[in-house]
Amino acid sequence: MKLLILLFCAWSDMAGAAESVQAFAWRAPLAIDASAPYQRITLPLDAYLHAAQPDLRDLRVFNADGAPVPIARTLQYGSSEQTTRSRPLHWFPLTSSVTQVSGGLRDESELNVRVRQGHDGTLVEVQSGAKSTTSAESVRRGYVLDASLLANRANVKALTLDWRGLTGFQLLDISASDDLQAWHSVRSEVQLARLDYNGERIERRRIELNGLPGRYLRLLWRDPVSAPELTSAEIEETSAYWRSPPTEWSAILSPDQSGLKLQEGEFHYLLPQALPISRIRVLLPSGNILWPLEILQPDRERRHWGRITRTVAYRIAGSGREWLHDEISLPGGLLKEFILRIDRRSSQPAAPQLQVGIEPEQVVLLAEGKPPYQLAVGNAQATNAALPLTTLVPGLGSSNAPDIAEAQVLPASMPAMHSSQPDAMQHFGAGIDWKKMLLWGVLVAGVLAMGFMAWQLIRQMQNSQKKQ
């Protein structure tokens, strides 16, 4: 019984030590927003370099009392972002002839338009008119808008007009053309308005569009005398693009002086820890440089090296500009060592320098207990303590979900445990806690002793039964 009590105490001591903040080799304080119950941090590269396990199962956040707080780990995701800008368009008036008749005006002719274009397709001049009659007068019927310089007319979302003087309601038709001859309808009976009453103004000047099907727009007012004098015509373009999550870059790496039998143009790089590398940046020297290259990764036995990717890194200058491609995208996964192989037919550098980049995870924590809080890694005996994000944050994604504030990881309070290119055996030994190993040895010895005692007891009972 005493042995069982001792073993239980030893186990309790080890379990408590495994979650003690002092058992973690690397720690960094957090700057949080105290107004929110949840905090989100982006892991720094140092957290990956000092973790005892590449999968970060030993990651913890401790409060001021040294107790671990609930956490969840989540990947950073890119975002689809949208930008909107307005671009002015040049416009050219279209005129027609009308005659006075009883009850109003009558249009005497269709539009006869003569156009002069520049070499790039932009309109230089538009002349419109009709055969003159003695009783006819010239009126403004509409406008031709030049959208020929728009790079992507499919992104056009709206047309906004402004005019001088005229108030009330207006009706117009919009058509488009690529050659100023064949026109097809875009919008019919579009209503614009400008109303002034008691010192207040109500306007409707924006016309919704779903892209432009032509290089030119024609606006024709239904009433031949109501076309106003334009003062501006602006196209609203909306562009959507994908913003990738930010990349965390390492310090500059030089080739490792390993015992590998490398060929000409091959350079070996060894990292202190296996990292989820997503990009490699090649630091190209100045001048015109072109390096066709490959990235090779070893198999588990390090007998064969397989190609991860192939690309061309270059820096080319000329005509007052520079063409640069120095970042290599990788398919993902953990990477601890690799070979950079540069095509022998290109210039051969003495020792190309690199940076490796990761897209770090984020950690969401519940601000449980008293601040300050600190991030900790570097405990080989710690197991994964992260909860699913939906479990940690009730109602995540709904309007009733608790607030999550953005927190920051401050510089680490513990010194680095290894250099950027450490000896492998030294790095392995640094991660061993001999006190815990001794406790484990005592526990295993106790279990074996209990098994031996049970075997002896069973044997004695069997012998006594045979004698009876």
- Rg for the chain (alpha carbons), in Å? 37
84-242 and 248-358: identical CATH topology:
yes
CA distances from 216 to 174, 179, 298 (A): 10, 8, 59
Among the listed residues 279, 290, 354, the one whose alpha carbon sits nearest the alpha carbon of residue 324: 290
Range with lowest mean pLDDT among 121-125, 268-272, 316-320 = 121-125
Structural domain boundaries in the chain = 19-72+366-432, 84-242, 248-358
User: What local confidence, expressed as pLDDT, does residue 98 receive?
Assistant: 59
Distance between CA atoms of residues 100 and 315, nearest Å? 72
- Record the tokens describing residue 40, joined without a space: 């989100």
Nearest CA to 284 out of 248, 343, 325 is that of: 325
pLDDT digits (tens, 9 = 90+) for 187-210: 999 999 999 888 888 999 999 998
Q: Are 19 and 61 in contact (CB under 8 A)?
A: no
pLDDT of 426 reads 35
Residues 31-65 pLDDT 10s: 999 889 999 999 999 999 999 988 999 999 999 99
CATH topology for 248-358 is Jelly Rolls (2.60.120)
Q: Is 12 helix (H, G, I), strand (E, B) or coil?
A: helix
Residue 415's pLDDT is what?
Answer: 47
* Overall average pLDDT of the 269-292 stretch: 92
* pLDDT at 346 (0 to 100): 87
CA distances from 111 to 105, 123, 140 (A): 16, 18, 11
pLDDT at residue 299, as a whole number? 86
At residue 404, the pLDDT reads 93
pLDDT for the residue numbered 427:
38
Q: Where are the alpha helices (DSSP H) in 296-418?
A: 389-392
Q: What is the pLDDT of residue 439?
A: 58
By C-alpha distance, which of 393, 372, 323, 348 is closest to 61?
372
For residue 424, is pLDDT > 60?
no
**Range with the poorest average pLDDT among 27-36, 129-138, 332-341:** 129-138
Give 391-406 as a 3 state SS string.
Answer: HHCCCCCCCCCCCEEE
- pLDDT tops 70 at residue 117: no
Q: Per-residue pLDDT for 430 more than 60?
A: no
Q: With cut-offs at 50, 70 and 90, classify the pLDDT of residue 284.
A: very high
CB 81 within 8 A of CB 241: yes
Backbone angles phi, psi at 449, to 5 degrees: -65, -40
127-131, 225-229, 360-364: which range is least confident on average? 127-131
Q: What is the CATH number of domain 84-242?
A: 2.60.120
Residue 110 has pLDDT above 90, yes or no: no
Q: Three-state DSSP class for 450?
A: helix
What are the tokens at 253?
A: 């790496």
Residue 308 has pLDDT above 60, yes or no: yes
Per-residue pLDDT, 443 = 66
DSSP-derived letter for residue 344 is T
- Position 268 pLDDT exceeds 70: yes
Band the pLDDT of 181: cuts 50, 70, 90.
Answer: confident
- Rounded to the nearest integer, the mean pLDDT of the chain is 81
